[in-house]
Structure 1
Amino acid sequence: MKKGLLLTGFVALGMTAQVLAQNPTQVKYGSTITAEDLEKHLTVIASDEMRGRDTGSEGQKKAAEYMIDFYKGLGLTGPVDGSFKQTFNLVSVSYDEVSLQVGKQKLERNKDFVFQGDADMAKKMKTELVFLGLASDENLAKVDVKEKLVGLWAVGERTQGLVDKVMDAGAAGIVIVTMEGQANFDRLAGRYARLSGSGRLGFDKETEQRPIFITSSDKMGELFGADVATLKEAAKSSPESIKSQKATFQVKKKKEMVETSNILAYLEGTDKKEEVLVISSHYDHVGVGSDGQIYNGADDDGSGTVSVMEIAEAFATAAKDGFKPRRSILFINVTGEEKGLLGSQYYAENPIFPIENTVNNINIDMVGRIDYEYQDAENKDYVYVIGSEMLSSQLKKINEYNNITYTNLILDYRYDAEDDPNRFYYRSDHYNFAKFGIPVIFFFNGVHDDYHQPTDTVDKIEFPLMTKRAQLIFHTAWDLANRDKRTPVDGTNTRTDR
């Protein structure tokens, strides 16, 4: 968007005096965010010593202590009864014994099928494997699924609603095809095999008897003695034409408690100190693979973590010099993002400061690299901005104003849509704040070949560009922390129930 087209919006926000004139105080403290300091911290956070910072691991705890020592040195306070840790328990759930036999064929886990869902069975269940195909009312009227293992053909469909429908109809379990082709399934099975040494982390809850086995289209055809084309056709309206098979299966579940912590550092404001601006990243990554390779997570999300640290230092330095923010600022490095946004969910549901007093969340998740879209571009000074007008009409304009005033990055909004097939708005920690009606901005550099790979290492970080991105976030945060009125919740999408 051209600068001139933005001015009307800025005037509406009360930015009438010397629009685009830099605040020398902001410039002074924003410039304390340097490529050298970002690299220094990231070299520690994403080092082999941290062992990939898997949630609850010793490596993650080492990273937490490094951050706490840093925040203490800045003179920030620990808001959790004097502590910088918001500690809570998760449960590691593993299914060490999972067996599935159809007819005389004993299927091999993470080769012929992968296990999903939940179950804990004292003994093996003998039943029939019946073919339902699509989970339509018409098909359910033709096939008796009660107490049966049900073959479900869900290629190209969103599976959660289909699974719920079949389980609600009384099925004992499901064998599901979600993608066609053996090669696609083999990639999925390989990923499950690599993660087989670690349990699924989550909040403790009662076991649901919902055994779900995912297999390939080729294997489904083999189980029913039919070719894939026949199954695809029968799935639509004639599932009863596919002969049922005898089946036996069992799932045994094991649970272990895992302690982990969000790291919180607090800077109290002045006349509006009851209102809190939250600046967040996640500091966990995916740990060590079954082959011993360390997933350092330099970009994901070491880059966001050290950006939060440097932004905190800029605000803390300004405060020591007599320039405290009007609103309080909570710097939070959350745990468990890679396991399902667990740390941010825990904070949002157990806030240290009243959630209604949280004015905004600025979330930083992967800001150190250049993605596929920009790798060949002449101007690579960009950042993706997501969610800035979902809940507030003003937040996007405030960010744009600070960008054209201080950093002049390309603000790319291509992923800033409800119908974005990547669903990035729903996939990082800001979403747990948005669900409570808190206006959010998510800063992101996009996906690259090293995403969730052992090759996501410090040497590949674009530190000068990362510095500009962190400085933009600082300037926007400074504005939000010091403006007269908090941003209203009046945006283009005030629904938060997705």
Structure 2
Amino acid sequence: MKRILAFASVWYLGFGFASFGQDSQAIKYAATIEAEDLKRHLTYLASDELEGRDTGEKGQKLAAKYLVDFYKEKNLQGPVDGGYLQKFNLSSVLWADIDLKVGKTGYINNEDFVFIGDAEMKRPNKTELVFLGLASRENLDKVNVKGKLVGLWAIGERAQSAIDEVFEAGAEGVIVVTMEGQANFDRVASRYKTLSGRGRLGFDKPSEQKPVFMVSSDKMAQVFETPLEELKEAAKSNPASIPAQKASFLVKKEKKIVGTENVLAYLEGTDKKDEVLVISSHYDHIGINSKGEINNGADDDGSGTVAVMEIAEAFAKAADEGVRPRRSILFLNVTGEEKGLLGSQYYSENPIFPLEKTVNNLNIDMVGRIDYEYQDAENQDYIYVIGSEMLSSHLKLINEYNNITYTDLILDYRYDAEDDPNRFYYRSDHYNFAKHNIPVIFYFNGVHDDYHQPTDTVDKIEFELMEKRARLIFHTAWDLANREYRTPVNGENTRLER
């Protein structure tokens, strides 16, 4: 029944298929995407030699060279003034001194809290810590935040919007909870601790006086000397019931410039060559942790990167044999994703090809593993699909049509919900295309115990499943690159703020 409905939907929307059935040429070139090749490339990119591919570091540069050499070998063009590297600078901010004290208790950076804001101070700010809970208008009317350090509850909320609202109300600083559970926070804190010795990367800008300290829900309860469940209830509409605390904080920082680069390879189309399809992944990862262990990043996002390579090879082989796509294709491997989607942000703000001519972005981030939801499932041939119907009513059905026709994966949309507490939609590079109203699909396998851990290694990758996922993306890309009309932008972008 699902197949019938999907075919009927495709027919009803007039998608331009000459007939329902398989495209023999697409099948031929999809077959060149093989598990053995995926494994060969990933074994190098996720090796210890590349030291976790941290942005701006030796391993990331080696990965970029590997990608460039591969694209040259496949006769794909370098579209950046004849080259393959889109170079840009980031600012590395090293927090030389961060202190937070509430009452008589001093808290430790990257253990008790993670500093996620910005500030540059000469002396400690002695103030009062008040509990606001949710950043609702009702709560802001009940709690005077002006000149205070403010306890903010932002689980399931748009944290940055809530933080901005509190600062606009006159707060001096914010202590925020964005996720449930100590274990989730500890993973984030461990990552920040790894980065702390090298500095936090971002685009250079003047300092903002917006000190923000992220804590776990358990730590917030400890700070306010209040049971967690009582604090959660108070966060909704009774924040003034939580006693204020004496507090002080200090933030000092240092900056240096770090160079990095996106890798771009281009295949020119035929009669619709001015229109461009972007197929992307991020090739950076998080480097070496504070214990000296290498985070190899086999799944995140070595898997997506080698999938892009194999898809590029399939299109390049077709072009060499005279089967060139109608639209042009940009294979885009970005840097700095782990530091805040920086490489894709830079490309979207400095595009090599006009954004108005960019028809779609297919973004591949973690497609090599089986997650918690499917680890005990009878059928593990699945992929999470995120963002496919937000901007275009056609894109989701095009992807479904190609899945039905060629790969028969389970397409799982659970993380596409706007209220997804994981906020996966906001956490990969498609976001920087969608915010410019370019219809996107984010392909994702979900998280597992090895996410952002030194144990994310090649031996745990499901290469046969990864091959099938990459072939689905190839078929959808083949369709988008060759159909008569580009996918219409007929939906509203309701997810602009991260």
Using the size of structure 2 for normalisation, the TM-score is: 0.90
Question: 8 Å contact 1:437–1:496 — kept in the other structure?
Answer: no
Aligned length: 492
User: What's the counterpart of residue 416 of structure 1?
Assistant: 416
Question: 8 Å contact 1:95–1:253 — kept in the other structure?
Answer: yes
Q: 1:242 to 1:378 in 2, by over 3 A?
A: closer
Question: 8 Å contact 1:143–1:240 — kept in the other structure?
Answer: no
Structure 1 residues 125-162: Cα deviation after superposition (integer angstroms, max 9, x where no partner)? 3x332434445667666766544x42425274744444
User: What's the counterpart of residue 123 of structure 2?
Assistant: 123
Matching of residue 468 in structure 1 with residue 468 in structure 2: yes
d(CA) in 2 for partners of 1:347 and 1:7?
36
Amino acid of the structure 2 residue aligned with 1:97? D
Q: Secondary structure at the match of 1:129?
A: strand
- CA drift of 1:405 comes to 2.0
Q: 1:25 to 1:91 in 2, by over 3 A?
A: same
Q: 1:238 to 1:418 in 2, by over 3 A?
A: closer
Q: 1:170 to 1:450 in 2, by over 3 A?
A: same
User: What's the counterpart of residue 365 of structure 2?
Assistant: 365
Q: Which deviates the most, 374-383 or 6-15?
A: 6-15
- CA drift of 1:438 comes to 1.1
d(CA) in 1 for partners of 2:315 and 2:58?
30
d(CA) in 1 for partners of 2:343 and 2:120?
26
Matching of residue 444 in structure 1 with residue 444 in structure 2: yes
Question: 8 Å contact 1:217–1:228 — kept in the other structure?
Answer: no
Equivalent positions of 1:314-463 (< 5 A) are 314-463=314-463
Q: Secondary structure at the match of 2:11?
A: helix
- CA drift of 1:441 comes to 1.5
Q: Secondary structure at the match of 1:171?
A: coil
Of all paired residues, the percent bearing the same amino acid is 65
- CA drift of 1:106 comes to 4.3
Structure 1: gaps spanning 5 or more residues: none
- CA drift of 1:122 comes to 2.1
Q: Which deviates the most, 79-88 or 129-138?
A: 129-138
d(CA) in 2 for partners of 1:359 and 1:73?
27
User: What's the counterpart of residue 253 of structure 2?
Assistant: 253
d(CA) in 2 for partners of 1:240 and 1:389?
43
Question: 8 Å contact 2:103–2:245 — kept in the other structure?
Answer: no
Amino acid of the structure 1 residue aligned with 2:381? D
Q: Secondary structure at the match of 2:116?
A: strand
Q: 1:16 to 1:480 in 2, by over 3 A?
A: closer
Q: 1:258 to 1:463 in 2, by over 3 A?
A: same
d(CA) in 1 for partners of 2:229 and 2:406?
62
- CA drift of 1:306 comes to 0.6
d(CA) in 2 for partners of 1:442 and 1:80?
25
User: What's the counterpart of residue 193 of structure 2?
Assistant: 193
Amino acid of the structure 1 residue aligned with 2:336? G
Question: 8 Å contact 2:16–2:483 — kept in the other structure?
Answer: no
Q: Secondary structure at the match of 2:25?
A: helix
User: What's the counterpart of residue 150 of structure 1?
Assistant: 149
Question: 8 Å contact 1:361–1:441 — kept in the other structure?
Answer: yes
Q: Which deviates the most, 350-359 or 133-142?
A: 133-142
Question: 8 Å contact 2:226–2:242 — kept in the other structure?
Answer: no
Amino acid of the structure 2 residue aligned with 1:431? Y
User: What's the counterpart of residue 280 of structure 1?
Assistant: 280
d(CA) in 1 for partners of 2:173 and 2:116?
11
Amino acid of the structure 1 residue aligned with 2:207? T
User: What's the counterpart of residue 213 of structure 2?
Assistant: 213
Q: 1:187 to 1:6 in 2, by over 3 A?
A: closer
Q: 1:253 to 1:433 in 2, by over 3 A?
A: same
Q: Secondary structure at the match of 2:255?
A: strand
Question: 8 Å contact 2:150–2:171 — kept in the other structure?
Answer: no
Q: Secondary structure at the match of 2:164?
A: helix
Question: 8 Å contact 1:272–1:328 — kept in the other structure?
Answer: yes
Question: 8 Å contact 2:175–2:215 — kept in the other structure?
Answer: yes
Using the size of structure 1 for normalisation, the TM-score is: 0.90
Amino acid of the structure 1 residue aligned with 2:430? H
Matching of residue 27 in structure 1 with residue 45 in structure 2: no
Q: 1:221 to 1:332 in 2, by over 3 A?
A: closer
Matching of residue 497 in structure 1 with residue 490 in structure 2: no
Structure 1 residues 146-193: Cα deviation after superposition (integer angstroms, max 9, x where no partner)? 44x424252747444443344333333334566788777666655543
Q: Secondary structure at the match of 2:117?
A: strand
Q: What's the RMSD between the two structures over aligned residues?
A: 2.9
- CA drift of 1:419 comes to 2.6
Q: 1:414 to 1:240 in 2, by over 3 A?
A: closer
Amino acid of the structure 2 residue aligned with 1:19? F
User: What's the counterpart of residue 8 of structure 2?
Assistant: 8
Q: 1:132 to 1:482 in 2, by over 3 A?
A: closer
- CA drift of 1:379 comes to 2.0
d(CA) in 1 for partners of 2:341 and 2:58?
20
Q: Which deviates the most, 188-197 or 426-435?
A: 188-197
- CA drift of 1:494 comes to 4.2
Higher radius of gyration, 1 or 2: 1
Q: Which deviates the most, 286-295 or 1-10?
A: 1-10
